[in-house]
Amino acid sequence: MLSNFRTCLAWVLVHEGGYVNHPKDPGGATNRGVIQRTYNAYRKRMGLPRQSVKKITQAEVEAIYREQYWNAVQGDQLPAGVDYAVFDYGVNSGPRRSAKDLQRVVGASPDGWIGQETLSKVPEMPAQEIVEKLCERRYRFVRGLRHWPTFGRGWTRRIMGETMGTQSDDIGVIDRGVMLATNAAGDRTPVPIPAPKADAPGKALEEDAGSIAIVKEVTKDPKWMGLLGSIGSAIGTLATVSGPIAWAVAGVLMIGGIYLIYRLERDRVAT
């Protein structure tokens, strides 16, 4: 499968722009879409000293995007158009979030890791349909973020373009993704794909995997609800026994169980 990485990266970088440090951007200091903490981690792994993301090189930009975003969503294994839609979503909101919504669209288990199950489901749905449904999910997601009043206009333009839905001359991810898919299908004359317009609307992150997001994930996961039920049953049994020791043990079980679930789920949902 021919890789669209360089084409997709060029489009992503138009949106990401240059160096910005907007006080309301949850990503913090960002240059060409790379946030400072991501750059710090990359430099550390390469055995290089820490420096401002202002100084990031083109080679570093390409390496970070390919490894931490494109490869993370299996870009080379996805159909044309779908690769771009998933990649751009991952850059803006984290690859785990992007992968989960792709999985929800194609009917795979939404665990945030694109593996064999997901890759086997993707070809069962037309690429154009996947792009449209994924971008619609993405748009609903960003509309619910607390930074929507600040960055909503830019996010809308990035995802949906100048006009909602899909148009052959529009500039949104949904538009270019569908055009990529249509051209790759080869069942009609290839259409020229318009370039995106410069826009740097800020990272659309899920509240940094905060407590509210974690609670939402826990309530949707049967294994955590089952564990909480088991803890509740154990506490109920202890509660029938009088005495301070029994109540102390019950309290420790409840607090310890909730904290363990919180820590495990926080690590899992963090992008």
> What end-to-end distance do the CA atoms of the chain give, in Å?
28
Query: How confident is the model at residue 227, as a pLDDT?
Result: 62
6-25 pLDDT, tens digit per residue, is 999 999 999 888 888 777 66
Fold classification of 5-205 (topology level): Chitosanase, subunit A; domain 1 (1.20.141)
> Looking at the DSSP assignment, which residues form a beta bridge with residue 19?
31
How far is the C-alpha of 79 from the C-alpha of 66, rounded, in Å?
17
The secondary structure element, H or E, covering residue 209 is: none
- Taking 80 as the threshold, does the pLDDT of residue 90 lie above it? yes
* pTM (two decimals): 0.73
Q: Average pLDDT of 244-266?
A: 63
Choose the weakest-confidence range: 65-69, 148-152, 211-215: 211-215
Give the closest residue to 84 by CA, choosing from 32, 29, 188, 6: 6
How far is the C-alpha of 154 from the C-alpha of 265, rounded, in Å?
31
- Taking 80 as the threshold, does the pLDDT of residue 125 lie above it? yes
